[in-house]
């Protein structure tokens, strides 16, 4: 009767004996655990609007974990900016750094540009109103002569400035200096003569009136040139190369364009704080894309020092470089990550498992 309880515990005792024996067997097993991660490109450029309606181009560097550069395309308050895309081949097309994507136009600037162009045209017509057709042809020829003498004068002055410096440094003789000085003075005189001939030909218009109209035209042309430069200042060029993504979002905070650098992808993976002692840059990391049989390796290059709390769990973030970027099709892809450390004894494996379970 006394042996019956003993037989009852024989299977349990045998199992306990096997477990104890396993603890001392010199056999190693890998220690591994899993987590969920998200994949980003190393660099990504986004064109979006801020809450004031201004366009902003932002380049993020996910390897470094921050914004690399920001360009804001601002206009005056109350102005309306319009985005005009050109030369794009569509979604997922490949963009090279420096390619023109389009332009951002100001409605107010376009209206001002047309206004200045009209004012210049009217002033020129006012000047020509008192000039006969024959005189107009002569004046055009004389204006071309002025333009030609200006080019010659600029060249002669540049030559004289260069020789003058060499002469002061005693590198050229005085005869060379005098020759270039004479050429410069001759070019200056020819320019003055051409201007004088042009003014003399304005016989059909009162000299004072013609002078005022010319000053007005020159002033308007300078204003027109400034507006044209402003209008062309917001030509969009790609700051990085990669795959193009286009969005239909509009309004405040809307995102319009994105360029993803597909050459390199970065994995962000949260790891529970209690697993931190068991991972290092040498820890083997494998990525599994959910819903597919695709798996690829990643190399850890950064283990975060700061902890974050999410759903009551203390986490640190690990960054890894995906070793086969061609397997990654989407930005922001959610993946399953398996961390595998060095092989350890079964005794150590059980000790770690119990320790992690009880924490």
Q: Would you kindly state where each structural domain of the chain is located, as residue ranges?
A: 30-41+263-358, 138-203
- Domain 30-41+263-358 is in which class? mainly beta
Nearest to 305 by CA among 294, 291, 319: 319
Please give the full DSSP string across 182-212, using - where no structure is assigned. Answer: HHHHHHHHHHHHHHHHHHHH-TTS-HHHHHH
Handedness of CA 60, 64, 65, 67 (dihedral sign): negative
pLDDT along the chain (359 residues), means of 10: 54 62 61 85 88 83 87 72 76 85 75 71 63 60 80 84 80 81 84 77 59 72 70 77 73 69 88 83 86 83 84 86 79 83 69 63
Task: Map residue 290 onto helix, strand or coil.
Answer: coil
Nearest to 303 by CA among 65, 36, 31, 41: 65
Q: What is the pLDDT of residues 264-318, one digit of tens each?
A: 899 999 888 888 887 888 888 888 887 777 788 899 998 888 888 877 778 889 9
Topology of domain 138-203 in CATH is Helix Hairpins (1.10.287)
Percent composition of the chain: helix, strand, coil (DSSP 3-state, to 5): 45, 30, 25
Can you give the pLDDT at residue 319?
92
Can you give the pLDDT at residue 23?
58
Q: Please, which residues have CB within 8 angstroms of residue 288's CB and are 6 or more apart in sequence?
A: 294, 295, 335, 336, 337, 338
251 phi/psi in degrees, rounded to 5: 90, -170
Nearest to 337 by CA among 133, 73, 22, 35: 35
Can you give the pLDDT at residue 250?
45
Cβ-in-10-Å burial (0-12, 13-18, 19+) of 159 comes to middle
Can you give the pLDDT at residue 262?
84
**Two domains, one topology: 30-41+263-358 and 138-203:** no
Cβ-in-10-Å burial (0-12, 13-18, 19+) of 271 comes to buried
Can you give the pLDDT at residue 136?
59
Tokens at 222, concatenated: 């300078």
Q: Token match 């003014």: residue?
A: 199
Nearest to 324 by CA among 271, 265, 249: 265
Q: Rounded to whole angstroms, how far apart are CA atoms 16 and 13?
A: 5
Residue 312 has a CB neighbour count (10 Å cut-off) of: 5
Task: Map residue 146 onto helix, strand or coil.
Answer: helix
């Amino acid at each position: 009767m006394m042996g019956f309880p003993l037989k009852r515990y024989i299977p349990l005792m045998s199992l306990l004996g096997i477990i104890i024996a396993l603890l001392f067997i010199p056999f190693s097993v890998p220690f591994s655990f899993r987590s969920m991660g998200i994949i980003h490109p190393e660099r990504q450029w986004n064109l979006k609007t801020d809450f004031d309606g201004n366009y902003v181009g932002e380049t993020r560097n996910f390897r470094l974990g921050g914004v690399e550069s920001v360009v804001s395309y601002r206009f005056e308050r109350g102005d309306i900016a319009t985005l005009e895309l050109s030369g794009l081949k569509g979604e997922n097309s490949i963009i090279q750094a420096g390619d023109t994507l389009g332009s951002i136009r100001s409605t107010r600037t376009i209206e001002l540009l047309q206004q200045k162009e009209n004012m210049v045209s009217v002033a020129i017509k006012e000047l020509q109103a008192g000039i006969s057709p024959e005189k107009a042809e002569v004046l055009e020829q004389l204006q071309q002569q002025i333009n030609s003498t200006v080019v010659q004068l600029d060249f002669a002055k540049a030559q004289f400035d260069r020789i003058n410096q060499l002469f002061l440094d005693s590198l050229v003789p005085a005869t060379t200096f005098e020759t270039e000085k004479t050429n410069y003075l001759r070019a200056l005189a020819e320019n003055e003569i051409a201007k004088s001939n042009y003014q003399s030909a304005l016989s059909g218009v009162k000299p004072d009136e013609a002078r005022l109209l010319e000053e007005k035209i020159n002033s308007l042309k300078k204003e027109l040139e400034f507006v044209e430069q402003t209008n062309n200042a917001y030509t969009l060029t790609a700051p990085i190369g990669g795959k193009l993504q286009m969005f239909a979002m509009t309004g405040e905070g809307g995102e319009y364009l994105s360029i993803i650098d597909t050459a390199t992808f970065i994995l962000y993976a949260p790891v529970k704080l209690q697993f931190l002692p068991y991972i290092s840059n040498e820890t083997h990391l494998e990525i599994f894309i959910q819903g597919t049989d695709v798996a690829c390796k990643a190399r850890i290059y950064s283990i975060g020092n700061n902890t974050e709390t999410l759903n009551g769990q203390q986490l640190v973030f690990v960054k890894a470089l995906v070793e086969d970027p061609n397997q990654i099709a989407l930005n922001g892809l959610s993946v399953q990550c398996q961390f595998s450390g060095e092989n350890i004894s079964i005794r150590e494996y059980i000790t770690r498992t119990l320790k992690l379970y009880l924490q």
